[in-house]
Structure 1
Amino acid sequence: MSPLDLTVVLPVRNEERNLGEALKALGKDFAMQSIVVDSNSTDRTVAIAKEHGAEVINFEWDGKFPKKRNWLLRNHTPTTEWVLFLDADEWLTDDFKAEVRAALANTEHVGFWLNYTIYFEGRPLEGGYPLKKLALFRVGAGEYERIDEDRWSQLDMEIHEHPVLDGTTGEIEAKIDHRDLRGLDHWKKKHADYAAWEAHRYLAIKDNSALQSKWSTFQKIKYRLMGTPLLGPVFFFGCLFGMGGWRDGKRGVQWALLKASYFNEISRMVRAEQKQKS
């Protein structure tokens, strides 16, 4: 079976625990090209990428736009028709690859939303908020949302942005396995950085009516609650009961608490900044 007219891009930094498994799951016959965009890793990330036949491109962020994904699209534009952005802790399944192959064979869409199975404590979660990303799209159809920042954080990659595309989008139902092998301590540290970025992002756009008109229903709810103490509790109960997290028993409660603590931290930062300015 010939590879798809597709480039798979994995933006990474110090991902030696995850990257090998992600590239192994990707395989050799799914995409024409695989690119690892590395941010000066100090572990074996680059060596692992090369061992699996991926092209390695180094990226150094200057603290401003563009970050890693948009930088790749602008400066090393894939020569294939399609591009798929994966994180190193996202493993393609056979069902996903088969559905993508069928979808790309005859479509007028310029992009596809992807679904993920979240693994927690080594096992997949049955409930909780679903993870979706618009991460597969035609090269040249658009790029990730432009966010002008001046080192709000040390995060050199677009985090919760989706690409803004010129055209219609579809959805791949088969799921990608989202497995992070680096453990809970790393998850907490990573999400502390994410929380600081989210707080700055909200404060920068909360009065921008043009952007608000493009928010999804989930974003509208999140941003309305962002400056209140209700954000974490609402997410906890929504995750556990509204989205079926209870089906995972103790793990479901623990996952809901972890995510709620993340949103609590965002809310705390936003309210502290607002209080300081008032």
Structure 2
Amino acid sequence: MPDRPLDLTVAIPVRNEESNLATCLQAIGTDFARQVVVIDSASTDATVAVARSHGAEVVHFDWDGRFPKKRNWFLRHHSPPTAWVLFLDADEILLPAVKREIAEALPHSPHQGYRLTYTNYFLGRRLRGGYPLHKLALFRVGEVEYERIEEDAWSQCDMEVHEHPIVSGSIGFIRHQIDHRDLRGIDSYMRKHNEYAAWEAHRLRASRRDPEAVRTWSRNQRLKYRLVTTPWGGLVFFFGSFFLMGGWRDGSVGFAFAVLKSAYFVQIACRYRELQQPQRLQG
């Protein structure tokens, strides 16, 4: 660990996260980053009290259904005074090994951002196989923003989830995993992915009218949306997740995870096709 806090702000977007936030903040500690900020969206539980009791700064965000969402809003209106910012969810735990690796990487880094890798949980179990979970969530302040997508309240997602940071420079990789302890259960999983699928379908339709936006897509985004618009996207994802990426190692849990993820692709395709229809038949 560094002798003094890193020139880093850890920003944690939240809404009703009292059950997760304390563990997240405890893992960050007081000597890792110069600043820890909790960005709250009108929580009705004890989230804000938990944040303040652990010494985090709290800022409040109210979304109007349009750009910017929570992360870009924070970068624009509460720009961190540090050189780096790390966006962390309340159910993501910074283990000592990943903190040490970040501390070694940042002081003399040649990169504009870092891709982070995460553990994955499903049905209360940490998965050994399936597609790896990774995000570009650590980058230089003032040089990077998330994609600008001009949506009109497509969903209740007030935070960037599938919008990727736009990075013009080089990207490094943090090898050690952040522990993503999403243990909310299957109801939460289904609600979340229903909402994500609705948003992705609207985003895909909007992109067909804006070729400039497509130019900023990452390679993975291009592949995903190309698959979504074919009849075989869900099947391809299932085969890749369960067989190629070792989902079979998790047995029936890995099988269920791959099935639901493939169903997510199919749902996006169906929602996109529905949006393409000029009007619905009236009964």
Identify the TM-score tier after normalising by the shorter chain: over 0.9
Counterpart in the other structure of 1:224 = 226
Counterpart in the other structure of 1:173 = 175
Deviation, structure 1 residue 141: 1.1
Deviations 1:156-183 (A, max 9, x none): 1111112112422111111101111322
Structure 1 stretch displaced more, 208-217 or 4-13 = 208-217
What are structure 1's unaligned runs of at least 5 residues?
Answer: none
Deviations 1:240-268 (A, max 9, x none): 01211111111111111121122221111
**Separation (CA, whole Å) in 1 of partners of 2:141 and 2:28:** 20
**Secondary structure at the counterpart of residue 17 of structure 1:** helix
Deviation, structure 1 residue 207: 5.2
Equivalent residue runs for 1:73-152 within 5 Å? 73-152=75-154
Letter in 2 for 1:75: H
Counterpart in the other structure of 2:6 = 4
Equivalent residue runs for 1:189-228 within 5 Å? 189-206=191-208, 208-228=210-230
Q: 1:217 to 1:76 in 2, by over 3 A?
A: closer
What are structure 2's unaligned runs of at least 5 residues?
Answer: none
Tell me if structure 2 keeps the 8 A contact 1:228–1:271. Answer: no
Letter in 2 for 1:231: G
Structure 1 stretch displaced more, 127-136 or 255-264 = 255-264
**Separation (CA, whole Å) in 2 of partners of 1:182 and 1:42:** 18
Say yes or no: does 1:27 pair with 2:23.
no
Deviation, structure 1 residue 277: 5.8
Deviations 1:68-103 (A, max 9, x none): 001101101100111000111111111100000000
Counterpart in the other structure of 1:70 = 72
Deviation, structure 1 residue 272: 1.5
Tell me if structure 1 keeps the 8 A contact 2:122–2:183. Answer: no
**Secondary structure at the counterpart of residue 79 of structure 1:** coil
Structure 1 stretch displaced more, 117-126 or 95-104 = 117-126
Counterpart in the other structure of 1:47 = 49
Q: 1:153 to 1:162 in 2, by over 3 A?
A: same
Equivalent residue runs for 1:252-271 within 5 Å? 252-271=254-273
Q: How many residues align?
A: 278
**Secondary structure at the counterpart of residue 49 of structure 2:** helix
Tell me if structure 1 keeps the 8 A contact 2:136–2:165. Answer: yes
Tell me if structure 2 keeps the 8 A contact 1:17–1:181. Answer: no
**Secondary structure at the counterpart of residue 157 of structure 1:** coil
Aligned-residue sequence identity (percent) comes to: 58
Deviation, structure 1 residue 108: 1.4
Please report the TM-score for the alignment, with normalisation by the length of structure 2.
0.93
Deviations 1:100-141 (A, max 9, x none): 000012111111111111122333211111111111011111
Tell me if structure 1 keeps the 8 A contact 2:123–2:183. Answer: no
Counterpart in the other structure of 1:238 = 240
**Separation (CA, whole Å) in 2 of partners of 1:214 and 1:10:** 25
